Structure 1
Amino acid sequence: MWKNPSEYFAAATVKYFERHKGEVNSCAISPDCKLILTCSDDSRIHLWDAKSGSLQCKVTGHTGPVKSCCFSPDCSLFASSSHDCTVRIWKVDTAECLHVLKDHSKCVETVCFSPDSVYLLSAGWDRFAILWNVQHGQHLKTFVGHQDAIQCSAFSKNGSYIATGSWDYTVRVWSLQNDGMDRILKGHKGNVSCLCFSVSGMLASGSWDKSIRVWNPRTGSLIFLLKGHTGWLRSMSFSRDGILLASAGHDKMVKLWDCGHGKCIKSLRAMIDVVHACTFSAEGTLLLTGATGFTRINGK
């Protein structure tokens, strides 16, 4: 039965994870909800036990701020991207670095796995998005077209499309099926800073213009224009069922949106500083947010 979105966070518990010595730029919950991954301007990646909150491992190797991190959907790997111009693929169980990917010429702002864990996408200040084979660390394809730095990226849930958001104020949707469905989505009046796909295929983009746009990526049409944040958008995440969209940013707020009606149903004063990252857990009952120096979980 469809659930009233406001019931998701009717009774919240909060847990904090504090160890980083710089801004937490990205965070992720493993698909099995056992681990939490955070990365920071302190050049470190931390792996945490989600239940106990204990720090399991400090992962080192990058020589500059770590800008993005994510788990593979099969839970066996995680990836990170850095200001040091590299992308690294790591084993979850040992934190061993399997591949160092070096084809970017400038800071790599974003990295994401395909739904089947076979491919990895990375992009950054060099204006290129690169598709990699995860097993071999092989450069498969370069996507070219943005006129400025790429700050965010996402795979569609069915793996057919990728999306990239840029400082050129546009979102580009690239088809991986060579079916001519590539799109340029225009409308934002500021840098596009975050992207996410819903299970139903909607694409949400957040911007420094303080707005969220929800698109049909196949047609390029705008479904909702969501306004309410008073600062730049930094991160967004759809719940597993696609009913909720969480957004966070420079106004120190996390907002929950009903994606059936395009309405804000709850505003959470989640942090005392800029919220740099937010993500739902795979089953949708936890929301993870990250700010300068610490990470926090809201959930039932």
Structure 2
Amino acid sequence: MAAPLEVIVSSDSGSQLWNSTVFDLHSGSSLLSYRGGNSSARTLTVLGGQYLMSAQLGKNFINVWEIQRKDQLQQKVVCPGVVTCLTASPDGLFLAAAVSEAVYLWEVSTGKLLSVLSRHYQDVTCLKFTDDSSHFVSGGKDNLALVWSLSSVIQLDLSHTPEPRHVLSHHSLPITDLHSGLMGAQARVATASLDQTVKVWELSSGELLLSVLFDVEIMSVTFDPCEYFLFCGGSDGNIFQVSLCSQEPGDVLSVSMDGTLLLSGSHDESVRLWDIQSKQSIRCLTHKGPVTNAIIMAAPANMFLPDSRPALPLPRFSRHAHL
């Protein structure tokens, strides 16, 4: 059987047999399971198509698996505290993790800790890179979303404290999720908040483009691939669809590459696949606890090649910044 082009990767907080599971997007069949601990919410990420990474629930380390070696943890990256969110740059060169109110940025090829960004005033809740890896955005319990230029963060002079390119400050309650669209530094960024709004920003200028008010707190947000629609997961379990060209309401959301399928994960211990046009649930994947991560992604080339090896060995990650 040919390897699938797109897969679902999800995790929950209750399973004792596996950490994360890979499902076929169209049949719902289980393809792979990665063993060892449980993943924290908003920490499941793929590094360079070669490693699966996630922060251990309630612990101060990141679990790392080679993408094709599901039964064996490759490495544990020890962090200064409990990791609240984790993301890898799309080009596979950088890894960013949040611990309390600080963002830690590593260079993957060397494992060097390049910078510790302490610009938030309360815990960081979400992190996302732009699709060209030139910027990343952090959202926090301090109601702020900060836009960081990677070139300004990576510097040799550690005595100079990097500043964010933009401070997005229109939310009145903690930010719960964010999503960056396409076009790199010209992308639009959506932020969701407990203030019952989702706001869409222009990344290059920091200008607020749109604010949508809901009747419930919004816990997750994503665009469809063409950015015609905004999908917002409400605290009441409903999913809202908002047209961005000219509203229906989960905890985690992801859209397929062709824009026809929506994936949602919830505290009711299930991951559901929805047909966007008909708004009907077409598949339910039962988990063993509240769902912490659920994403649709292109299947890495070597995910189903058990004898393959990563092109780049993963170094030990430093806990201290140095030149």
- Partner of residue 71 from structure 1, selected from 88, 93, 104: 88
- Partner of residue 140 from structure 1, selected from 165, 190, 198: 165
Q: For 1:131-280, what aligned pairs fall within 5 Å after superposition?
A: 131-137=147-153, 138=162, 139-159=164-184, 160-178=187-205, 182-189=209-216, 191-201=217-227, 202-217=229-244, 219=246, 222=247, 225=248, 233-269=250-286, 271-280=287-296
- Partner of residue 137 from structure 2, selected from 92, 117, 121: 121
Residues 177/90 of structure 1: CA separation in 2 closer, same or farther (3 Å cut): closer
Residues 94/55 of structure 1: CA separation in 2 closer, same or farther (3 Å cut): farther
Q: Secondary structure at the match of 2:151?
A: coil
Measure, in 1, the Cα distance between the counterparts of 2:201 and 2:213. Answer: 15
After superposition, the C-alpha distances for 1:139-159 in whole angstroms (9 at most, x for unaligned) are 211001111001111111234
Measure, in 2, the Cα distance between the counterparts of 1:51 and 1:21. Answer: 19
Check if 1:28 corresponds to 2:45. yes
**Residue 76 of structure 2: aligned partner:** 58
Aligned residues: 266
How far off is 1:88 after superposition?
1.4
Measure, in 2, the Cα distance between the counterparts of 1:144 and 1:106. Answer: 14
How far off is 1:102 after superposition?
0.7
Q: For 1:5-20, what aligned pairs fall within 5 Å after superposition?
A: 8-10=25-27, 12-20=29-37
Measure, in 2, the Cα distance between the counterparts of 1:180 and 1:132. Answer: 15
- Partner of residue 44 from structure 1, selected from 61, 78, 81: 61
Measure, in 1, the Cα distance between the counterparts of 2:175 and 2:65. Answer: 29
Which structure has the greater CA radius of gyration?
A: 2
Is the contact between residue 147 and residue 203 of structure 2 (CA under 8 Å) also seen in structure 1? no
Q: Secondary structure at the match of 1:19?
A: coil
Residues 283/79 of structure 1: CA separation in 2 closer, same or farther (3 Å cut): same
Is the contact between residue 199 and residue 208 of structure 2 (CA under 8 Å) also seen in structure 1? no
**Residue 9 of structure 2: aligned partner:** none
After superposition, the C-alpha distances for 1:170-198 in whole angstroms (9 at most, x for unaligned) are 10111235496611111241x21111122
Measure, in 1, the Cα distance between the counterparts of 2:205 and 2:151. Answer: 23
How far off is 1:204 after superposition?
1.3
Q: Secondary structure at the match of 1:136?
A: helix
Residues 103/272 of structure 1: CA separation in 2 closer, same or farther (3 Å cut): same
Measure, in 1, the Cα distance between the counterparts of 2:67 and 2:290. Answer: 22
Is the contact between residue 167 and residue 206 of structure 2 (CA under 8 Å) also seen in structure 1? no
After alignment, is 85-94 or 168-177 more displaced?
A: 85-94
Measure, in 1, the Cα distance between the counterparts of 2:38 and 2:226. Answer: 38
**Residue 105 of structure 2: aligned partner:** 89
Residues 60/218 of structure 1: CA separation in 2 closer, same or farther (3 Å cut): farther
Measure, in 2, the Cα distance between the counterparts of 1:243 and 1:158. Answer: 21
**Residue 103 of structure 1: aligned partner:** 119
Unaligned ranges ≥5, structure 1: 1-6, 227-232, 286-300
Give the alignment's TM-score, normalised by structure 2.
Answer: 0.75
Is the contact between residue 125 and residue 140 of structure 2 (CA under 8 Å) also seen in structure 1? yes
Q: Structure 2 counterpart of 1:62, which letter? A: P
Q: Structure 2 counterpart of 1:244, which letter? A: L
Measure, in 1, the Cα distance between the counterparts of 2:166 and 2:60. Answer: 28
Structure with the bigger percentage of strand: 1
Give the alignment's TM-score, normalised by structure 1.
Answer: 0.80
